[in-house]
């Protein structure tokens, strides 16, 4: 293993000089700096980041916490975060919380113990004490908090669009799946949809769900059609829930979209290949992750941050689980 001493010896300077070059501290003559950098390359010397982080009190590690990477929505967020972080040489310590407060606390603690310089979290518990105690930057991703920087999609507008589209396309007895009550974007979607339903006076029922997990979604889908068998439109809390509803509707022999229209939320991969392909409200997940990483880097580097809360636009993606827009047909 090549050490800093080997580098110093190779160039004929002191270890302190090599250290100054590595840490970009203090004065080093330009020629000396070049020689040291050349020696580092030639000897293939890789400074020990742990030792450096102790010296500089800074690592290049960022904690990333997501609910569950096997939900196809989250890998997109993770890729966005990672790609931006990689551009600036940061690395991710990664964990899944499974929407459990205990797991989330454990991860935050170990992020700190491993000297993470920032945490990006799709938390289910934004008000948790563990976040308040941190003295490193935190960015919430796909979540909203009044006292923390955050990157999220415009859930309320998404909910409004979903309701407008499903009404316009003819649903009159609508079920709205309400996502976890303590997660702001999920509630914003719900509120947006309900606003439009109330304004237009269309009948609707609410099905409450506690998590985004597929198993719960399957139960709720069964409950939905058992309690309200004449439902002719479903606004789902996310695509996984929409898939569960689609499956249950088909299992009951209902025609989608002729008898029941379904709109999801997220636009996860492969839903365009389902039968029928799922109409949904698209969130720009990759871009959200990328922006969150960008915001985090600015915070770490102490750069001015104009916008603490970045709200990204959503859009309706028309596929086969909704009927044709009659206004369009007339054109």
Q: Out of 33, 60, 168, 222, point to the residue binding a second copy (CB under 8 A).
A: 60
**Residue 115 binds to a second copy (criterion: CB under 8 A):** yes
Question: Strand (E) positions, 3-162?
Answer: 61-66, 91-96, 118-121, 138-141, 150-153
Burial of 133 (0-12, 13-18, 19+ CB in 10 A): exposed
HEC assignment per residue over 18-46: HHHHHHCCCCCCHHHHHHHHHHHHHCCCC
Q: Out of 14, 15, 23, 50, point to the residue binding a second copy (CB under 8 A).
A: 50
Strand partners, 281: 265, 316
**Residue 72 binds to a second copy (criterion: CB under 8 A):** yes
How many Å apart are CA 176 and CA 197, to the nearest integer?
A: 10
To the nearest 10°, report the CA torsion of 26, 305, 104, 80.
-90
How many Å apart are CA 75 and CA 97, to the nearest integer?
A: 14
- Enumerate residues 27-46 that contact a second copy by CB under 8 A: 46
**Residue 68 binds to a second copy (criterion: CB under 8 A):** yes
How many Å apart are CA 213 and CA 325, to the nearest integer?
A: 31
Q: How far is the CB of 33 from a second copy (least distance, A)?
A: 21
Nearer to a second copy by Cβ, of 59 and 237: the residue is: 59
Q: Out of 9, 33, 79, 208, point to the residue binding a second copy (CB under 8 A).
A: 79
Q: Who's near 160: CB < 8 A, 6+ residues apart? A: 192, 193, 195, 196
Strand partners, 219: none
**Residue 76 binds to a second copy (criterion: CB under 8 A):** yes
CB 219 within 8 A of CB 210: no
Q: How far is the CB of 266 from a second copy (least distance, A)?
A: 13
**Residue 305 binds to a second copy (criterion: CB under 8 A):** no
Q: How far is the CB of 304 from a second copy (least distance, A)?
A: 27
Q: Helices in 127-260 by DSSP H: which ranges?
A: 129-132, 155-168, 184-200, 214-227, 239-251
Q: Out of 9, 33, 91, 173, point to the residue binding a second copy (CB under 8 A).
A: 91
**Residue 78 binds to a second copy (criterion: CB under 8 A):** yes
Strands 203-208 and 233-235 come out as unpaired
Q: How far is the CB of 82 from a second copy (least distance, A)?
A: 6
Number of residues that bind a second copy (CB under 8 A): 47
Quick one: which segment of 181-189, 257-265, 272-280, 301-309 binds a second copy (CB under 8 A)?
272-280
Binding-site string for a second copy from residue 149 to residue 188, where x marks contact by CB under 8 A and - marks none: ----------------------------------------
Nearest Cα to Cα of residue 246 among 172, 320, 156, 170:
320
**Residue 112 binds to a second copy (criterion: CB under 8 A):** yes
Nearer to a second copy by Cβ, of 15 and 54: the residue is: 54
**Residue 102 binds to a second copy (criterion: CB under 8 A):** no
Q: Which residues bind a second copy (CB under 8 A)?
A: 46-51, 53-54, 59-61, 64, 68-70, 72, 74-76, 78-79, 82, 86, 89, 91-96, 103, 107, 109-110, 112-115, 243, 246-247, 269-271, 273-275
């Amino acid at each position: 293993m090549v050490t800093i001493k080997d580098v110093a010896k190779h160039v004929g300077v002191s270890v302190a000089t090599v250290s100054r070059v590595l840490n970009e501290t203090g004065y080093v003559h330009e020629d000396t700096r070049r020689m040291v950098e050349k020696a580092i390359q030639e000897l293939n010397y890789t400074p020990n980041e742990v030792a450096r982080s102790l010296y500089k009190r800074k690592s290049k590690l960022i904690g990333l916490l997501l609910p569950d990477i096997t939900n196809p929505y989250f890998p997109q967020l993770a890729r966005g975060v990672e790609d931006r972080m990689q551009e600036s040489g940061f690395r991710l310590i990664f964990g899944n919380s499974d929407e459990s407060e205990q797991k989330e606390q454990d991860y935050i603690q170990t992020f700190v113990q491993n000297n993470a310089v920032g945490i990006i979290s799709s938390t289910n518990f934004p008000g948790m004490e563990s976040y308040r105690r941190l003295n490193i930057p935190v960015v919430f991703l796909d979540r909203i908090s009044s006292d923390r920087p955050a990157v999220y999609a415009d859930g309320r507008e998404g909910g409004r669009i979903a309701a407008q589209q499903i009404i316009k396309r003819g649903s009159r007895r609508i079920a709205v799946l309400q996502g976890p009550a303590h997660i702001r974007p999920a509630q914003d979607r719900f509120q947006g949809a309900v606003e439009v339903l109330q304004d237009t006076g269309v009948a609707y029922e609410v099905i409450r769900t506690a998590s985004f997990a597929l198993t719960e979604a399957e139960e709720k889908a069964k409950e939905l059609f058992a309690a309200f068998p004449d439902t002719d439109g479903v606004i789902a809390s996310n695509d996984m829930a929409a898939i569960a509803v689609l499956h249950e509707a088909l299992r009951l022999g209902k025609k989608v979209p002729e008898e029941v229209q379904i709109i999801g939320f997220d636009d996860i991969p492969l839903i365009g290949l389902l039968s029928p392909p799922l109409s949904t409200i698209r969130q720009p997940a990759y871009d959200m992750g990328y922006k969150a990483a960008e915001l985090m880097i600015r915070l770490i580097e102490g750069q001015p941050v104009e916008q603490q809360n970045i709200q990204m636009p959503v859009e309706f993606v028309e596929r086969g689980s909704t009927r044709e827009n009659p206004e369009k047909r007339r054109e």
